[in-house]
Amino acid sequence: MSESRGFQFPAKMLSKAGAGERIACELRMRIISGMIESGAILSENKLATDFAVSRSPIREALKVLASEKIIRLERMGAVVVGLTEKEIQELYDVRLLIETFVFERLVRMETDQLSRELSKILEMMKIAIKYRDADEFALQDVLFHETIIGSINHSYILMIWDNIKPVMECLILLSMRMRIEEEYEDFTRIIKNHEIYIEAIESKDRALMIESLHLNFDDVQVQEKVEDLWRSQQILSKGAVE
């Protein structure tokens, strides 16, 4: 699959992905950002031409997106459904439930190694901010939380995370791209919140864990996310035509 300026999902996050997965990630990003609007019809033939691939990886990608319910497969083609405000809120509800559960398990576990891993990731996040690399920051942010979730070695919790991760990645990418352009100073707060995460894990202080969850999730309101997506769409559209 050829790369171009029009691609919005970062290639660095797809180093081991096959053609179908890469196309699914790109289409997911375009749909969630609003570049492909709800109600649009996706044609297998046109997508195959656009992505310079056969129809097989296109079908694979569309099946994945249909399983996530952001498109609907019909005889005339795939109909874009997109995400509603309620669904965005529900995604963050699930993520909050997962991390609350994980934190409770971590209270009873040895966490020194986890703290070291998270501290290393946090340093990479700081470097990404320094160089205004929103995509790298988003990649490290996802890795930070995935490392916490994976640390308790709970296969079903990890399965739930894996199911919501693709859409969460897009939401985080779009939010960070918008913030790097319009709210750069807000990254100081975001880094501080992640430092409190690590402190809570190290101290096994439930009250601090609750505080860290509130700091990281209380500002994740549906309307804010919708506005982030709208502004991100303007940024992406501007970049595509330059």
Q: Judge: domain 11-80, CATH 1.10.10.10.
A: yes
Residue type, 241: V
Report domain extents, the chain. Answer: 11-80, 85-241
- Count H helices, E strands: the chain? 10, 3
pLDDT score, position 6: 62
93-125 per-position pLDDT tens digit: 898 889 889 998 998 999 999 999 999 999 999
- CB-based contact 234:242 (threshold 8 Å): no
List, as one string, the DSSP characters of 124-154. HHHHHHHTT-HHHHHHHHHHHHHHHHHTT--
* Entry pTM: 0.85
156-212 per-position pLDDT tens digit: 999 999 999 999 999 999 999 999 999 999 999 999 999 999 999 999 988 888 888
Q: Judge: domain 85-241, CATH 1.20.120.530.
A: yes
Residue-averaged pLDDT of the chain? 87
